[in-house]
Amino acid sequence: MDVKNKVPEKNPCKDMPDDLYETFRKALSDTLAEKSGVLKDIQTQIDDALKKADVKPKKIEVEIFLVTLEEFIKEYAEDVAQDKAKSEADARSKFKDLNAYTYIMDKKTIKIKIFCKRSVIDAVIENDGEQHPLYRLIVHELVHAKLFSTTLSELPQDKFSENLKKEGRNDGTAPEVHPGDHNDQLSREVDRLLDGLLKKLKKEKDEDKQEKDPEKGKQKKEKGKEKEKNKTKGKEKEKDKDKGNEQEQDGEKRKKKHKEKRKEKKRASGKGKGRRKTSGNGRRKKRQEGSEAEER
């Protein structure tokens, strides 16, 4: 899915204050951002389903808008090419009952229309609460876009996974807390994607806080320096240890060499003494013989 954010910079919704409109735009951008993981997760599901059925992927465009009732009546009639009166009645009914509507425009385009109405404005206001209704609304419509994208990619209905089949049903099994989710499987899928989105947004917020807080930033920097210092000390200790080992080995070698020299010297000295001793005995023997001769 190639998702395009078509929400304009200028606020088209008269009932929504400009500051809330900026909050709305940011929430939409955060959800569609690559780092949120929502679109990546959805695309992986589509790719896996097509690959399993050996169906070649197609480029499907998904366009997201924020529209007033008048804009929706006009655009819906143009997009679905229905009878004008019937189309207008259908558009009015959807705008009244829903907060957004996702539909197929042609063989390669899906449109998501988020409505400029009181309930959506309330969702923007309450988005920082426990339910995160605006994030949930956006993710909900993206799950519909996933199902339509799979259909436009010409994946046969009998090749749909059980989860995809269930997500496409409007069987009245939606949980009470989220009645607009159509069925329990779609609701669980929205919960899962929303949970991943919120975790990544929280992580990003915590990291930004640390960077903006000078004291925390300083502490983080000091920790980094201390870590680096300890690392350097560790390396120096290793070097000293290696050097000590080398010196110890050199000392052992020198001792060994010295011992060998002493042994060699001793051996040489021992040989010399042996010759002198023999020579001395010989001389004494001669003197004795000479004395004996004189006596005789």
Range scoring the smallest mean pLDDT among 27-31, 104-108, 165-169, 201-205: 165-169
Range scoring the smallest mean pLDDT among 64-73, 92-101, 160-169, 197-206: 160-169
The pLDDT of 279-285, averaged and rounded, is: 52
Position 296 in a domain:
no
The alpha carbons of the chain give a radius of gyration, in whole angstroms, of 44
Position 281 in a domain:
no
Position 256 in a domain:
no
pTM, two decimals, is: 0.70
Position 218 in a domain:
no
* Per-position b or e across 223-260, b if 16+ CB within 10 A of its CB: eeeeeeeeeeeeeeeeeeeeeeeeeeeeeeeeeeeeee
pLDDT at 99: 96
The pLDDT of 134-153, averaged and rounded, is: 95
Give start and end residues of each alpha helix (H) in the chain: 18-32, 38-52, 69-80, 84-97, 118-125, 133-152, 162-167, 184-212, 214-295
What is the average pLDDT value for the chain, to the nearest integer? 84
Position 261 in a domain:
no
pLDDT at 277: 47
Residue 75 belongs to domain spanning = 2-212
pLDDT at 244: 67
Quote the CA–CA distance of 83 and 85 in Å, as a whole number: 6
pLDDT-derived band at 281, boundaries 50, 70, 90: low
Q: Are 40 and 142 in contact (CB under 8 A)?
A: no
Position 157 in a domain:
yes
Tokens of 163: 């989860």
Position 288 in a domain:
no
When divided into structural domains, the chain yields a total of 1
Range scoring the smallest mean pLDDT among 170-179, 191-200, 272-281: 272-281
Position 99 in a domain:
yes
